[in-house]
Amino acid sequence: MAKKVPVQLILNGEERAEFVESGATLLNALRDRFGDTSSKGGCHQGTCGACSVLIDGELKLSCLVLAETCEGAQVQTVAGLASDGVMHPLQQAIADGFAAQCGFCTPGMIMAAKALLDETPDPTREDVIEALAGNICRCTGYEPIIQAVLSAARANAHQAA
Amino acid sequence: MALILQSFETIDQASAALNATGTRYLGGGTLVVRAASEGDLSFSSYVCSTDPALTRIWTKDGSVHLGAGVTMAAIARNEELAPLAKAARAVGGPAVRNMATVGGNLFAPAPYGDFAVALVALDATVETGGRQIRIDEFLIGRDAIKSIVTGVTFAMPAAGVFRFVKISRTKPKGVSVLSIATLIETDTSGVIKSARIALGCMADRPIRAKAAEEALIGATLTAEGITPAVAAVSRGIDPITDPIASAWYRGEVLPVHFRRLLLG
């Protein structure tokens, strides 16, 4: 039987502790142990970006991070973005702009976009393209996603004003 | 079989643990965790260290030190390291740059390892096991290195002396067709005094284009002046073939991009 190790972290603002298999990736731990299946396993190689999450505010690929190294960390996934049943502006913009087709890349796209907007609230189109460069989408041709992120940034600015 | 993670507070403790068989040092995870996920059974235990010395960056008297655990993102956002930002940003997308480290890049097989190409042009010194090894020598012997790489040191290039380009088929980010880094110093009349040229994807690891370096000495950075160096840049190359490009294609486009970099 594989050795199990305890991992305690803050998942979407909530203190959580689970036993995970030693050497398990954060992606597998989130999906199999923490019950958060919002992050997707596309390639498990760090190529597709579908598993992107924020760890202590930094965008990382959960398929290449070991769960044990996240002890005590703040982990944010797309599952934690909505509050009180209201979608995050990025989620709303993706829905409004038909920027998700099969939807598999969307959780990673949104987290990559969130990492951008957290640091650069008023990004240029080039900033958005650069921020999403590690996330692959095979459906949309990217344009609706880029537009959705720009529109979410405008919505945020409107809210702040 | 499940893998075990052994984490140590100091580099020395981690080094001792690496003496055991079946261990692999874990830096940012972009190479090693990927290897495990792809079914690499050559190791059963990850060893890592949380020693703060590994993530330290310092600059002093024109010298730059990067700890082996410094990420590409940390380099790209550090204003003092502005000449290196382009090479750091050439690695992966934003998430990969938040993870990928200087130390890992030194071991990345082509087509990866674009930052190491920059370090070759910069004539960096690699620190490992208490020794200082010049990067050319380090890269030749890297497969046999057992000790942990703790950092690299190099002289900060003066403005305009260092150039870097990575060619990909997809924009803005993609796997390397090739990368080129040059460190070229000229005298006040524009005559080249010294030149170091490093190439990525032209072998299984970064190499120097020594024939082109020699051809540049005494020349000027003009279309005419660089012609012999452009003709010589492919001498001794053995490019990789992968799904991105064939060895033939890489060899054909190398002189074109080398010329553009020198005249750009």
Give the nearest chain A residue to B47 (CA atoms).
Answer: A23
B162-263 has which CATH code? 3.30.390.50
Q: How far is A64 from chain B (nearest CA, A)?
A: 5
Q: Which of A60, A63, A117 has the highest number of chain B CBs within 10 A, making it the mutation to test binding with B?
A: A60
- B2: which chain A residues are within 8 Å (Cβ-Cβ)? 2-3, 21-24
Determine the pLDDT at residue B171.
Answer: 85
Q: What average pLDDT does chain A have?
A: 95
Give the nearest chain B residue to A48 (CA atoms).
Answer: B93
Span of A1-10, A87-96, B115-124, B135-144 with lowest mean pLDDT = A1-10
Mean pLDDT of A33-58: 97
Query: Cβ contact (<8 Å) for A135 and B93?
Result: yes
B219 has pLDDT over 80: yes
Does B36 contact A at CB distance below 8 Å? yes
**DSSP-assigned letter for residue A25:** B
Ordered by start, the domain boundaries in chain A are 4-80, 89-160
Determine the pLDDT at residue A132.
Answer: 97
Q: From CA B126, how far away is CA A104, in angstroms rounded?
A: 42
- A49: which chain B residues are within 8 Å (Cβ-Cβ)? 93, 95
Q: How far is B227 from chain A (nearest CA, A)?
A: 35
User: What ipTM score was computed for the predicted complex, to two decimals?
Assistant: 0.95
Query: Cβ contact (<8 Å) for A66 and B2?
Result: no
A4-80 has which CATH code? 3.10.20.30
**Percent of the residues in chain B that have a pLDDT greater than 90, as a whole number:** 96
Residues 6+ apart with CB under 8 A from A63: A25, A26, A27, A41, A43, A44, A45, A46, A51, B33, B37
Q: What average pLDDT does chain B have?
A: 96
Does B29 contact A at CB distance below 8 Å? yes
B1 has pLDDT over 60: no
**Percent of the residues in chain A that have a pLDDT greater than 90, as a whole number:** 94
Determine the pLDDT at residue A69.
Answer: 97
Residues 62-101 of A with CB under 8 A from B: 63-66, 68-69
Does A59 contact B at CB distance below 8 Å? yes
Question: Which has the closest alpha carbon to A77: A136, A19, A127, A11?
Answer: A11
Query: Cβ distance B44 to B22 under 8 Å?
Result: yes
pLDDT digits (tens, 9 = 90+) for B70-85: 999 999 999 999 999 9
Determine the pLDDT at residue A79.
Answer: 97
Residues 6+ apart with CB under 8 A from A119: none
Query: Cβ contact (<8 Å) for A64 and B5?
Result: no
Q: Which of A54, A59, A110, A146 has the highest number of chain B CBs within 10 A, making it the mutation to test binding with B?
A: A59
A/B interface, count of CB pairs below 8 Å = 88
Question: Which of B33, B48, B93 is closest, CB to CB, to A25?
Answer: B33
Query: What is the CATH architecture assignment of A89-160?
Result: Orthogonal Bundle (1.10)
Question: Which has the closest alpha carbon to B92: B168, B182, B199, B200?
Answer: B168
Calculate Rg over the CA atoms of chain A: 16
A161 has pLDDT over 80: no
- A59: which chain B residues are within 8 Å (Cβ-Cβ)? 94-95, 98
Q: What is the H or E stretch that residue A16 is in?
A: strand A14-21
Confidence of residue A116 (pLDDT cuts 50, 70, 90): very high
Does B9 contact A at CB distance below 8 Å? no
Confidence of residue B159 (pLDDT cuts 50, 70, 90): confident
Confidence of residue B189 (pLDDT cuts 50, 70, 90): very high
Query: Cβ contact (<8 Å) for A3 and B93?
Result: no
Determine the pLDDT at residue A3.
Answer: 86
Q: How far is B52 from chain A (nearest CA, A)?
A: 15
Determine the pLDDT at residue A157.
Answer: 78
Question: Which of A59, A64, A130 is closest, CB to CB, to B30?
Answer: A64
Ordered by start, the domain boundaries in chain B are 4-49, 52-155, 162-263
What is the third-level CATH fold of B52-155?
A: 3.30.465
Confidence of residue A160 (pLDDT cuts 50, 70, 90): low
